[in-house]
A = this chain, B = another copy of it.
Amino acid sequence: MTLLTVDPAFQFNPGPAVATKLDAFAKLSSTDRAALAKITQNVRFIDPRRDLISEGDKPRYVHLVLDGWGARYKSLPDGKRQIVSIFVPGDFCDVNVYILRHTDHSISAITRLKVALITPEEMNALTEGRPRITQALWWHELVSTAIQREWTLNLGQRTAYERLGHLLVELYVRLRAVGRARDGRCDFPLTQNDLADATGLTAVHVNRTLQELRRDNLIELERKQLHILHLERLMDVSMFNPNYLHLDHEGRHLDAND
C-alpha cells in the first residue's frame, strides 16, 4: 500500500498546524516560532493502523502530530476497545508524559502519520524563558482535558444520533481551527468501525445512524470526505456548545512584540 500521496487536506493550509494552533491562544513571536520549528526536526512516519505507543511503555518522547490523524485508545481484557481521543494535525499527544512511569493507553495511526518526537530536554529548552509558549502549552493541556470531559458527557448522556453528530462537529471545528477545514468540508479518514470505538456504539448502529444523519440532510460522508450541510442545525441537534474548545482567545491573551 503506497500512501505517499499528499493529504488532500493540504489544499486548505499547507503551513504548520502547530504554530496555527498555539497562535490561536497567544500570538507567537518570530523567535517563538523558530523555537517551535526547531523541535519539529526529529520526524517519524507511522503507517496506518500501526501503534505509535503501546500501553505499558515507558514514555520517552512527547509526540506532536504534524500531519495525519491518530487515535488514543484503551483496551479491556474482554477484548473491548474504546477510542478515548482523536489527534489531528497540531495536537500534542502528551505534554510532559515522561513524568509518569508507564503509559496507561495506546496510540495508533489512523492515516499515515507524520509526528515530531520531542525529548524532555528539548521540551524544557523550548519553554525555558518563553512564557508565551509555556502558557500556550498549558492552554493546550487544559483544552485536551476539557475535550476529554466533553467525551465523557457525550458517552454518558447523548443518544447515538446526537453522539455521532457531536463528534463530527467537534472534529470539523478542530480541523478548521488549524486551517484544515472550510465551508463545512474536511477530510474524514475514520472508518465506521473507528466511529463505533469512539462513540461506544457498534459499527452496525453507527452505520444506521449515519444514514439517519444523511436522510435528515445534515451531512454527506463518503470516500473519507465529510461535508456538513447545515453546521448550525447539526450543532443544534447534537447539543454542541463550542465553549469547551476554548477557541475564544484569538491570540489576544499575550502578545508578541518582537
For window 122-166 of A, CB contacts with B under 8 Å fall at: 135, 138-139, 141-142, 144-146, 148-153, 155-158
- Residue A84 at the B interface, CB < 8 A? yes
A142/B96 contact (C-beta < 8 A), A153-B76, A200-B156 known:
yes
Interface size class of A (residues with CB under 8 A): 35 or more
Assembly CA distance A94 to B155 (angstroms):
22
CB distance from A238 to the nearest CB of B (A): 10
Q: Smallest distance from the beta carbon of A123 to chain B beta carbons, Å? A: 12
Which of B81, B141, B144, B152 is close to A84, meaning CB atoms less than 8 Å apart?
A: B152
Given the complex of chains A and B, what is the CA–CA distance between A84 and B152 in angstroms? 6
Any B CB within 8 A of the CB of A239: yes
Residues of B contacting A229 with CB < 8 Å?
none
Whether A85 is near chain B, meaning CB under 8 Å from some CB there, is yes
Q: Could you tell me which A residues sit within 8 Å of B by CB distance?
A: 55-56, 72, 74, 76-78, 80-82, 84-85, 96-97, 99-102, 104-105, 135, 138-139, 141-142, 144-146, 148-153, 155-158, 199-200, 239, 243-244, 246, 248-249, 253
Which chain B residues border A81 with CB–CB below 8 Å?
157
Chain B: minimal CB distance from A237 (Å): 11
- Whether A149 lies near B104 (C-beta < 8 A) is yes
B74→A138 contact, CB < 8 A:
no
Q: Chain B residues near A243: list those with CB within 8 A.
A: 55-56, 102, 104
Query: What distance in Å separates the Cβ of A249 from its nearest Cβ neighbour in chain B?
Result: 7
- Do the beta carbons of B101 and A246 come within 8 Å of each other? yes
Q: Chain B residues near A150 (CB, 8 Å)?
A: 74, 104
Q: Which residues of B contact A78 (CB under 8 A)?
A: 239
In the bound assembly, the distance between CA atoms of A141 and B146 in angstroms comes to 12
A121 to B: closest C-beta gap in Å: 15
A-B contact pairs, 7 of them (CB 8 A): A74-B149, A80-B157, A80-B158, A84-B153, A99-B139, A99-B142, A101-B246
Residues of B within 8 A of A80 (CB): 157-158
Query: Given known contacts A142-B100, A246-B101, is B239 in contact with A158 (CB within 8 Å)?
Result: no
